[in-house]
Amino acid sequence: MSNPLVDMEKPDVIFCIGTNMTECHPVAATRLKKAIAGGAKLIVADPRRIGLAEMSDLYLPLRVGSDVALLLGMAHVIAREGLIDRDFIENRTTESDAFLEHLVEFTPTWAEEISGVPAKDIETAAKWYGESAKSAIYYTLGITEHICGVDNVQSLCNLALMTGNIGREGTGINPMRGQNNIQGAGDSGALPNNYPGFQPVIDPANQAKFKELYGREIDIDKGITKVTALDLCGDEIRAMLIDGENTLLSDPDRVHCEHALRSLDHLVVIDIFLTDTAELADVVLPATAFGETDGVCSNTERRVQRLRAAVSPPGEAQPDWWIISQLAKRLGLAGFDFGEPKEIFNELCS
């Protein structure tokens, strides 16, 4: 998130797209309700008329997968009506002129044909968002778990950037994370293009720093995404370890995903349930659940929270960090001699 959760009470206009916040993030949604009670306008874009839509001032019932068309239509109106923040664009963005020129053809009428949202409602949504001094965007998995998920998010970023609605109180681009500690995983470097702390892999200074920190040669090329990894299954990739994800469910193309996983010579899954993905595994390693785990997790606003185990894990279940460390040792990899979660946290803090 670009803004803390407390800022959810402060926008004049709130644009929610692909998020069922009142059901999936009910505690955070109490702040949204406070904003609405205080007079904030709420725009909701979702194929389903969810509870959040019932609270909205404007509901945009778009067709599934047409998010980019809707957002381009809104961007067209913002540019046409002169609602852009010219000073912000010139000082904080690149390629803005080419982008604004590109928007000319994406009229609300064009967007209506693809999205099914009436052009007049697209006009209204764009004007509300663009005219407000403080407009904020909130989204969740409804726009990310698509084959065009990156395009969806980038289109939202463009709305915020062209209006200067970022970097200030009550504004921002705010993803409500879909699973526990997804934010923490990204912060700690579980991304193909970044070291811990979102430090780019391709930066020579970062390469030198992490080589010294880890005390060994490191891969200086960006890793591959999950989408690419699935495409390579059965060919360049013969084995895979999946930790805490039901990939068959989260991937946008289940048929392709299942074919890819079945093409592997060896699949290992770490999970607390025998999920659809775990059913395909050659080996399933049982992990500990929330109440059985010591450590920390980072919530959607990057707030680090302490976790303390309330009960002992059942059977042979072990913490994920312990399982990964044991696998690394048996593969002959150095640097995994952790005895407790505190040691891992201290390394992250260093």
Q: Which two tokens stand for residue 36?
A: 């609405």
Q: Worst-scoring range by mean pLDDT, 82-86, 121-125, 128-132, 346-350? A: 346-350
CA dihedral 193, 196, 202, 207 (to 10 degrees): -150
Residue 147 has pLDDT above 80, yes or no: no
pLDDT at 76 over 90: yes
Residue 173 and residue 166 in contact, taking contact as beta carbons nearer than 8 Å: yes
Task: Supply the DSSP symbol for 196.
Answer: T
- Give the pLDDT mean for 335-350: 89
Q: Please, which pLDDT band fits residue 103 given cuts at 50, 70 and 90? A: very high
Per-residue pLDDT at 184 exceeds 90: no
For 247-276, write each residue's pLDDT tens digit. 999 888 899 999 999 999 999 999 999 999
Residue whose token pair is 């072990």: 318
**Closest CA relative to residue 28, chosen from 10, 5, 51:** 5
Q: How far apart are CA 35 and CA 305, in angstroms?
A: 26
Domains of the chain: 5-175 (3.40.228.10), 182-349 (3.40.50.740)
Confidence tier at 233 by pLDDT (50, 70, 90): very high
Q: Is the pLDDT of residue 179 over 90?
A: no
Q: Could you report the per-residue pLDDT of 18-75, keeping only the tens digit for each?
A: 999 999 999 999 999 999 999 999 999 999 999 999 999 999 999 999 999 999 999 9
Chain mean pLDDT for the chain: 93
Q: What is the pLDDT of residues 305-317, one digit of tens each?
A: 999 999 999 999 9
**278-322 confidence digits (pLDDT tens):** 999 999 999 999 899 999 988 888 889 999 999 999 999 999 999
Whether residue 329 has pLDDT greater than 90 = yes
Beta bridge partners of 266: 239
pTM comes to: 0.81
Strand-pair category, 194-195 with 173-175? unpaired
Q: Is residue 99 pLDDT above 90, yes or no?
A: yes
Q: What average pLDDT does range 87-103 have in this prediction? A: 94
Asked whether the beta carbons of 287 and 181 are under 8 A apart, the reply is no
Q: What is the widest separation between alpha-carbon atoms in the chain? A: 63
Q: Kindly write down the DSSP assignment for every residue of 91-148, as one continuous string.
A: HH-SSHHHHHHHGGG--HHHHHHHH---HHHHHHHHHHHHH-SSEEEEE-HHHHSSTT
- Averaged pLDDT for residues 221-246: 93
